[in-house]
Amino acid sequence: MHPLRDRKAVVRSRSRSTLLLTIYFLVALIIPNCVLANTEHYSVWTVEALILMPLGFYMMWSVLLRRSGIMIWLGFPFIFFGAFQLALLYLFGNSIIATDMFTNVLTTNPGEAGELLGNIYPAVIVICVIYVPLLWFASREIGHRRCISRTARMNLGFLGAILFSLGWLSLWPAWRTTGDRHILRDKIFPINVMYNVRLCAAEFRRMQHFEESAAGFTFGARRTAEAGGREIYVYVIGEAARAMNWQLYGYGRETNPELSRVEDQVVFRNILTQSNTTHKSVPLLLSSVGTGEHDELYRRRGLPHLFNEAGFETWFISNQSPQGAMIDKLAADAAHVRYIRSPRYDMQLLDEMRRAVESSQAPRICFILHCYGSHFSYHQRYPREFARFLPDDDVAIAAKHRDKLLNAYDNSVLYTDHFLARTIEYLRGMSDTRSALLYCADHGEDLIDDERERFLHASPTTTAWQLHVAGLAWFSDAYRREFPGKAEAALRNAAAPATTHAMFHTMADIASIRGGEYLRTSVSLVSDDFDRTAPRCYLNDHNEAVPFAETGLTQADVELLRRPFGVYLLLSGAS
């Protein structure tokens, strides 16, 4: 027996297992980079930097301490980012974790998050298989106090430094060949993600200080005309309603059977959203700020405040939970705020509005109704009697289940059709009341529509399905008699190129409200002053106003927007 030889053999065996665990750590962390190298349209030099810089850094990180298990757990943020990135690649097919996605995580209620995770279980399983054993083995190494050998540490550290340096050097030719000076910030995972986390934190700080920054703000609202009798104006904010699946826009299925029979409505056929994320698009629908004035969002009050100043009784009724985002800040200015509890079918919004109208003696009322609309999971957004398109089972998000997902989505549109038609019917039945309804969705939705297999919304790069949203207006006979010019202008502007920025100004103009520099009839769809030549822009992930052509649209997307509905994109300028 040779005890010393046996002890050395045990030490070598343990050191070898620690080395294998370190290699496992490196492979697990570099997987997202390898996937991104194939999904993104990067130059060869950018791909080299994308792989070599992070891999070199992870190598050096893993051997900073002799006990690799500790370094693996200290590297948990990298593991979290890697897992998050793979989940989003499963959903969107490309793109890094965006600033908006971190904000979505922080503002999404647990129920919605559970619905989504339950339907991407294949991705969740793969992620767990990759990362959970890694953390378990790391914990085991810590418990056994195992260390990596001095030779392995030196070799890995030295090789890591070389790879990191080569990746850093490759940034220069990447800059030269692409002309992009923000490659490191925007394209190298996880550096880009860390930058986006910082942006997200900055946005949250500004949101938390909204009451201070907007203190004392006033629109200077005044009315240019007042109707005789009672006035009720309803602003309906839809959810994830892409125009392509509405019968009113030429869709082959009967998803709008009730609205199709409403002859005196005006369908706006050419509206693009300013953002494909709810936490940005809805505040923009509630605010006077333009796409290129994002900073002003934290200094101006919203639509409820405007109508308060104009002497209206204001109601904000939401079928979505409070989100802790700017939506809640702007909505809080309403005199009455209601959040509906489960089961949250949108007809409950009409029920709440009926009760409010019956209990109020106010001569002028403004309602803002925030729908749940076509928010995923679609089959939960409508009662079973509206399950016209079958099967609509709750299934995993996958191309093979596309028909079921589409059926459920179309059923949710069918239910939105019912809700809007019944709301119009209710307003129509009021005697001696000047009333109007304006509806617009916050953004569209991807439904695994092509070879990209994109799903949901909120991706850093857009698609035609996410951008083109449904919008319409309706005016009562009494309103048309009192303000014939506004209803006629809406009809003339039905095909005018607009963004969701027009909705705030349109709603104010419907109620004949002016507000100094903050309200413009050139952006109102019920005014002949509407500027059809103004360029349309999108608020990107870094809160920069960019032309829609620079949001990641493919040529197929552009053609889809142009052909069926007469939508065209202006390729320069900001609004």
Residue with tokens 């095909």: 495
Quote the CA–CA distance of 292 and 295 in Å, as a whole number: 9
pLDDT digits (tens, 9 = 90+) for 156-195: 999 999 999 999 999 999 999 888 888 998 899 999 999 9
- Which residues, including other chains, have CB under 8 Å from residue 492's CB and lie 6 or more apart? 528
Local structure of residue 527 (DSSP, 8 states): S
Q: Is the pLDDT of residue 414 over 50?
A: yes
Lowest mean pLDDT among 12-26, 36-50, 294-308, 473-487: 12-26
Query: Sorting pLDDT into bands at 50, 70 and 90, what band is 568?
Result: very low
Checking if the pLDDT of 400 tops 80, the result is: yes
Cα-flanking dihedrals φ and ψ of residue 279, to 5°? -70, -15
Residue with the larger pLDDT of the pair 228 and 374:
374
Retrieve residue 415's tokens: 């239910």
pLDDT of residue 575 exceeding 80, the answer is no
Over residues 292-298, the mean pLDDT reads 95
Residue 524 has pLDDT above 80, yes or no: yes
Q: What is the pLDDT of residue 126?
A: 94
In DSSP terms, 439 is beta-bridged to 236, 472
Asked whether the predicted pLDDT for residue 570 surpasses 50, the reply is no
Half-sphere exposure of 307 (CA within 13 A, CB side): 35
Q: Which residues pair with 539 in a beta bridge?
A: 545
Torsions phi, psi for 462 (to 5 deg): -100, 175
- Averaged confidence pLDDT in the chain: 91
514 - beta bridge partners? Answer: 222
E strand intervals along 161-312: 222-223, 230-238, 265-267, 271-272
Q: Report yes or no: 317 and 369 within 8 Å, Cβ to Cβ.
A: yes
Q: How confident is residue 342, by pLDDT bands cut at 50, 70 and 90?
A: confident
Question: Between 314 and 228, where is the model more confident?
Answer: 314
Question: 230-238 and 364-370 as β-strands: parallel, antiparallel, unpaired?
Answer: parallel
Percentage helix, strand, coil, to 5, in the chain? 55, 10, 35
State pLDDT tens for residues 51-106.
Answer: 999 999 999 999 999 898 999 999 999 999 999 999 988 888 888 888 888 887 77
Residue type at 254?
A: E
Residue 5 scores a pLDDT above 80 = no
3-state secondary structure of 567: coil
Averaged pLDDT for residues 483-510: 97
Task: Convert the pLDDT of each residue in 129-155 to its tens digit.
Answer: 999 999 999 999 999 888 888 999 999
State yes or no: pLDDT of 10 exceeds 90: no
pTM above 0.85, yes or no: yes
- pLDDT at 11 exceeding the cut of 60: no
Label each residue of 401-470 as H, E or C.
HHHHHHHHHHHHHHHHHHHHHHHHHHHHCCCCEEEEEEEEECCCCEECCCCCCCEECCCCCCCHHHHEEC
Whether pLDDT at 571 is above 80:
no
Start-to-end CA span in the chain (Å): 84
Residue from 509, 439, 482, 387 nearest 262 by CA: 439
Q: Is the dihedral of CA 348, 116, 200, 539 positive or negative?
A: negative
Q: H or E stretch including 169?
A: helix 150-169
The 10s digit of each residue's pLDDT in 25-66 is 999 999 999 999 999 989 999 999 999 999 999 999 999 998
CA nearest neighbour of 99 among 111, 107, 109, 91 = 107
Q: What percent of the chain has pLDDT over 70?
A: 93
pLDDT band with cut points at 50, 70 and 90 for residue 256: very high
pLDDT category at 564 given cuts 50, 70, 90 is low
Neighbouring-strand partners of residue 475: 436
Q: Cα–Cα distance between 323 and 442 in angstroms, integer?
A: 15
Instruction: Judge contact between 446 and 466, C-beta under 8 A.
Output: yes
Report whether pLDDT(531) > 60: yes
